[in-house]
Structure 1
Amino acid sequence: MRLTAEPAYILHVRPWRETSVLVEALSEQHGRIGLVARGVQGPKKQVLRAALQPFQHVRLDALLRGELARLATAEAIDAAPRLHGDAALAGFYVNELLLRLVPRGDPFAELYELYGRTRARLDGPHLAWTLRRFERDLLDALGSGLDWSADADGAPIDPAARYRLDPEQGARRLLSDRGHGERSAAATGRALLALAEDRQPEPSDLPGLRHALRSVLVHHLGPRGLKSWEMMADLARASRPAAVRDDNP
């Protein structure tokens, strides 16, 4: 199958053999695709190399045979955002989640649109909220989303209560006598309702929402975690005793 002028976002690039690279991209019509770009290290391929950068929005031509497509050309559609610090780590996290959870070859048009929205927000304010929205919408697009306005038994979410998220059944209300560790890893009902309404939660509610959503993602990822989570943990240890910010995955 030939792909012609297919819009796509570059998720990951790694060297392959002496002069080539392997590329993972999220395309508009064909979902996540793997590509082989041959000879891109040559002096005449500077424009192509510049287009094959993570977060870059491109228009590509390729020939799909088997699991990998052979890339013919790629041209940048716009300028990729220049991400630094927390925004760069968040972008790495977004790309890694897509690589781990989205199978190749399944068309997810909503994911292409979701990535475009998220990419535009990564270098803006409210980074933690941007990531929580992305996690919610990614789960929805993959058919693993939850009802954020009602608990697993169908009762409306109580904004004053705390909930853990069961990946299969939804929100489970915590009893008041639960230990501090379990409560700190749970989301407030107020945060879940804000997520349901696409309304930014209170800053104090974001850490619990992050922990609750991570438990759902861990279930779908399996035993192998994310490198971005490891990086976040390393940064947190390095910054002690300073308070750990919630702007990251």
Structure 2
Amino acid sequence: MRKFMLEQAPVYCLHIRKYKETSVILECFSKNFGRVDMLGKGLLRPKNKNDLPEYFQEYHLSGIGRSELGVLTGLDLIAGKAKLYGEAWLVACYCNELLLKFLPRHEPVDTLYIAYQSILHKLQSNKNYHLELLWYEKTLLECLGYGINFYFDAKTDDAIESERFYLFDVASGFRICSSQNEHAIPGFVIYALAENSWNDAYEKYFPAIKKVIRSALKYQLGDMQLKTVAVSNDLKQFV
């Protein structure tokens, strides 16, 4: 079995589930190790319940293991707690569930970790989060090998042209189309999406590019269902 050790590793706890009578399994997202699952022995005992980690807070985690499940030896909050409420909390739960569905164990994904931090900070600031959420979803697809080709026509293999218009096919990619098509997206908007260089002047195309990213996510999820979407009508407003 592969042995691993974490020493003061930055992590977020994505999910907590009970294990036996007094212990829990912490499903965590680590900057340098990807997903790590740790057994927190005795954390449900009355004297230890205050030691349970909270979601959406960053911790330093220490632990050791010889399989996919490690044993927690230390957990310390990195900074002051910032609470999320209402829609912001639901969006953050959606972000966590995507990670639980897609994230590989014990593989570094530091770019995705930074994107996750960024969307949490945006949600905590009570500012418009929609564009930041889109970058997070796009980064998740790219980091896990499901990135969209934003540079070449899927049918002709020609480079996408800034002044031409394209439709997105979830199974193959962007294909040139008539500018009269109601779902057409200009090449310069596709490039802006590719390079995370969004401009407010493109705002009318935001629903279309959001649909591109969401359809790509749903395609990769296949038959897997997101509980956060199923249980919340509010969440469906942005998913």
Aligned to 1:70: 71
Which of 20, 25, 30 is the equivalent residue of 2:28? 25
Contact 1:20 1:41 in 2 (8 A): yes
Aligned to 2:7: 4
How far 1:174 moved relative to its partner? 4.3
How far 1:129 moved relative to its partner? 0.5
| 1:70-120 deviation per Cα after TM superposition (whole angstroms, max 9, x unaligned) | 112211001343112221121111111111111112222222222222221
Mean alpha-carbon deviation: is it higher for 150-159 or for 12-21?
150-159
After TM superposition, the structure 1 = structure 2 runs for residues 1-249 of structure 1, keeping only pairs within 5 Å, are 1-49=4-52, 52-124=53-125, 125-152=127-154, 153-158=157-162, 161-167=165-171, 169-175=172-178, 183=183, 189=187, 191-200=189-198, 202-232=202-232, 234-235=233-234, 248-249=238-239
Q: Secondary structure at the match of 1:21?
A: strand
How far 1:170 moved relative to its partner? 2.4
TM-score, with structure 2 as normaliser: 0.83
Amino acid at match of 2:82: P
> What is the CA–CA distance in structure 2 between the aligned matches of 1:223 and 1:188, rounded to whole Å?
31
Amino acid at match of 1:163: L
Pairwise CA RMSD: 2.6
Tell me, which stretches of 5 or more residues in structure 1 are unaligned?
A: 237-243
Contact 2:118 2:132 in 1 (8 A): no
Amino acid at match of 2:124: D
Mean alpha-carbon deviation: is it higher for 127-136 or for 116-125?
116-125
| 1:220-243 deviation per Cα after TM superposition (whole angstroms, max 9, x unaligned) | 1121121223245x338xxxxxxx
TM-score, with structure 1 as normaliser: 0.80
Q: Secondary structure at the match of 1:5?
A: strand
| 1:110-138 deviation per Cα after TM superposition (whole angstroms, max 9, x unaligned) | 22222222221223423111111011111
Judged with a 3 Å threshold, the aligned counterparts in structure 2 of structure 1 residues 35 and 174 are, in CA distance, closer, same or farther, namely: farther
